């Protein structure tokens, strides 16, 4: 079995997989809400943030040692990647947790997102992949199932909240400020990111999944629905945002606490970033997938047998990697069975009004995760 740990800006996640016919099959999943991006001050990762990550990784190590899983891959994204003291912080985490940590570049994170999503979705013909994490947003335009480019923007759900939102939920004024900042960044992207050219958005990561849960609840959609209509995304934002300067809308908080209690502060900033990107590219539908960077990491470095770039203990970054010799496991699996894909439902364009009192949707998990509280 193989373990992949994703040290993100909002959460630290552990996924354990077994490989069957070249496909990763999830066995166990754990999550701790850490809010690592909130521990950054003046560009420096604070000791408290380093300590929090160390505690979580140490607890994961105890679990993995107990299960006798030695093939463990730990990688970190935006919060540790962008910290001025990244090398020192990562070195301290490695020293005190006993787990090696690779810091991947934004471009590599985007590539891994695409690899993971392309194995999970049947239709990756043309569109743009969007992964809004806690500390960054990865964008990957694709055509005929192939990446055209990959970029990482410094807008995540948590750091956007910290920078733009004064209360628990953003006001209309704060929403406009977020939209303006994201739009200005989008205008500077290369030609492959042409405005209005991608009606289909592939949504990856925690923000997209949480927004989908809200859409299912507020619009009384089937529990298995995995598509978000962009018009409905805007309606949800309007309903949930704080329309009063010095108060918090109780009805909105009730919905958020009931459906996604672990993302009360961060979901709206993340949804505003998602809506801004979708509208900029002419998006009509957001197809949400559970697969993403962790599955992509597993496919690239385990199933396909590519060689990871060496990352020194001081916390160097793993960027683009060269292809190494494919493992015998990967070669045999490829001979036995073609790549499996999972078909996603298409969203119907609807102008229904959301109904906040809909029953809560119970989501199936491999293992009940520790949702925790945000740091």
Q: What is the pLDDT of residues 110-169, one digit of tens each?
A: 999 999 999 888 778 889 999 999 999 999 999 988 999 999 999 999 999 999 999 899
**Helices 230-240 and 267-280, axial angle in degrees (round to 10):** 140
The dihedral over CA atoms of 356, 134, 70, 58, expressed in degrees to the nearest 10, equals -90
The C-alpha atoms of residue 124 and residue 118 are separated, in whole angstroms, by 6
Predicted pLDDT at 77: 95
Of the candidate CATH numbers 3.30.365.10, 3.30.420.150, 3.90.230.10, 1.10.1060.10, the domain formed by 107-288 belongs to 3.30.420.150
The C-alpha atoms of residue 333 and residue 101 are separated, in whole angstroms, by 28
Fold entry, domain 2-105+294-331: Nucleotidyltransferase; domain 5 (3.30.420)
Predicted pLDDT at 244: 65
Which ranges of the chain have pLDDT less than 70?
A: 244-247, 306-375
Q: pTM for the whole thing?
A: 0.79
The C-alpha atoms of residue 56 and residue 97 are separated, in whole angstroms, by 9
The C-alpha atoms of residue 138 and residue 228 are separated, in whole angstroms, by 19
Predicted pLDDT at 194: 80
User: What number of other Cβ atoms are within 10 A of residue 254's Cβ?
Assistant: 12
Sign of the dihedral through C-alpha 366, 370, 374, 375: negative
Domain boundaries, the chain: 2-105+294-331, 107-288
Predicted pLDDT at 40: 94
Q: Is the CB of residue 265 less than 8 Å from the CB of residue 248? A: no
Domains 2-105+294-331 and 107-288 share a fold: yes
Q: Which residue, among 290, 308, 274, 327, has the nearest Cα to 108 in the 3D structure?
A: 308
Residue with tokens 């199932």: 145
The C-alpha atoms of residue 114 and residue 102 are separated, in whole angstroms, by 19
Predicted pLDDT at 258: 95
Q: Is the CB of residue 252 less than 8 Å from the CB of residue 239? A: yes
């Amino acid at each position: 079995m193989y373990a992949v740990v994703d040290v993100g800006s909002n959460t630290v996640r552990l996924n354990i997989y077994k490989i069957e016919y070249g496909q990763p099959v999830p066995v166990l999943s754990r999550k701790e809400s850490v809010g690592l991006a909130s521990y950054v001050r003046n560009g420096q990762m604070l000791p408290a943030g380093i300590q929090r990550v160390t505690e979580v990784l140490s607890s994961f190590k105890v679990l993995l040692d107990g299960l006798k899983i030695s093939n463990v891959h730990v990688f970190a994204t935006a919060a540790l990647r962008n910290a001025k003291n990244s090398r020192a912080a990562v070195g301290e985490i490695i020293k005190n947790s006993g787990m090696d940590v690779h810091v991947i570049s934004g471009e590599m994170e985007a590539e891994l997102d695409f690899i993971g999503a392309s194995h999970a979705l049947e239709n990756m013909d043309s569109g743009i992949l969007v992964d809004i994490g806690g500390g960054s947003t990865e964008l990957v335009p694709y055509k005929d199932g192939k990446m055209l480019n990959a970029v990482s923007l410094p807008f995540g759900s948590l750091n956007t909240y910290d920078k733009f939102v004064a209360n628990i939920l953003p006001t209309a004024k704060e929403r406009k400020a977020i939209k303006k900042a994201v739009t200005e960044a989008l205008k500077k992207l290369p030609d492959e990111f042409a405005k209005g050219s991608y009606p289909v958005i592939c949504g990856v990561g925690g923000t997209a999944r949480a927004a989908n849960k809200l859409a299912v609840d507020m619009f009384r959609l089937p529990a298995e629905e995995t598509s978000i209509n962009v018009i409905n995304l805007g309606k949800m934002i309007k309903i949930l945002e704080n329309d009063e300067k010095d108060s918090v809308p109780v009805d909105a908080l009730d919905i958020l606490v009931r459906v996604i209690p672990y993302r009360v502060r961060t979901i709206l900033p993340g949804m505003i970033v998602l809506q801004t990107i979708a509208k900029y590219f002419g998006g009509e539908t957001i197809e949400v997938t559970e697969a993403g960077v962790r599955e992509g990491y597993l496919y690239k470095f385990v199933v396909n047998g590519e060689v990871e770039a060496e990352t020194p203990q001081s916390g160097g970054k793993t960027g683009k990697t060269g292809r190494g010799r494919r493992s015998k496991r990967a070669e045999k699996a490829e001979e036995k069975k073609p790549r499996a894909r999972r078909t996603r439902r298409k969203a119907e364009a609807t102008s229904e009004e959301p109904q906040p009192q809909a029953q809560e949707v119970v989501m199936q998990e491999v293992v009940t995760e520790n949702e925790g509280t945000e740091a």
